[in-house]
Amino acid sequence: MTLEDLVVIGDYFVGPSGLATVDDLADAVPSGGRNARRAREALELIRSGVESPMESRMRLRLVHAGFPEPAVNVDVFASNGTFLGRVDLAWPELRIAFEYDGDHHRDPGTFRHDQRRSTAFNVEGWMVVHATALDAARPALVFERLRQAFEQRRMESRAARHEGARLTA
User: pLDDT digit string (tens) for 37-94?
Assistant: 899 999 999 999 999 999 999 999 999 999 999 999 999 999 999 999 999 999 999 9
What local confidence, expressed as pLDDT, does residue 162 receive?
76
**DSSP-assigned letter for residue 58:** H
- Closest to 124 (Cα-Cα) out of 150, 85, 154: 85
Claim to verify: residue 158 and residue 118 sit in the same structural domain: yes
Claim to verify: residue 64 and residue 22 sit in the same structural domain: no
Angle among Cα 94, 49, 66 to the nearest 5 degrees reads: 45
What local confidence, expressed as pLDDT, does residue 169 receive?
61
Claim to verify: residue 135 and residue 59 sit in the same structural domain: yes
Which domain covers residue 14, as residue numbers?
A: 1-48
CA-CA distance, 27 to 105, in Å (whole number)? 38
Secondary structure (3-state) at 91: strand
Kindly report the pTM of this predicted structure: 0.86
For 95, the enclosing helix (H) or strand (E) is none
At 97, the pLDDT band (50, 70, 90 cuts) reads: very high
What local confidence, expressed as pLDDT, does residue 104 receive?
56
CB 12 within 8 A of CB 52: no
Claim to verify: residue 132 and residue 60 sit in the same structural domain: yes
Claim to verify: residue 67 and residue 137 sit in the same structural domain: yes
Claim to verify: residue 2 and residue 85 sit in the same structural domain: no
CA-CA distance, 160 to 10, in Å (whole number)? 41
Q: Domains in the chain: how many in total?
A: 2
At 14, the pLDDT band (50, 70, 90 cuts) reads: very high
Claim to verify: residue 14 and residue 91 sit in the same structural domain: no
Claim to verify: residue 28 and residue 64 sit in the same structural domain: no
- Closest to 24 (Cα-Cα) out of 10, 37, 36: 10
Claim to verify: residue 10 and residue 42 sit in the same structural domain: yes
pLDDT in tens, 116-168: 888 899 999 999 999 998 888 899 999 999 999 999 999 998 888 777 666 66
Claim to verify: residue 56 and residue 26 sit in the same structural domain: no
Claim to verify: residue 72 and residue 131 sit in the same structural domain: yes
Secondary structure (3-state) at 12: helix
Claim to verify: residue 81 and residue 133 sit in the same structural domain: yes
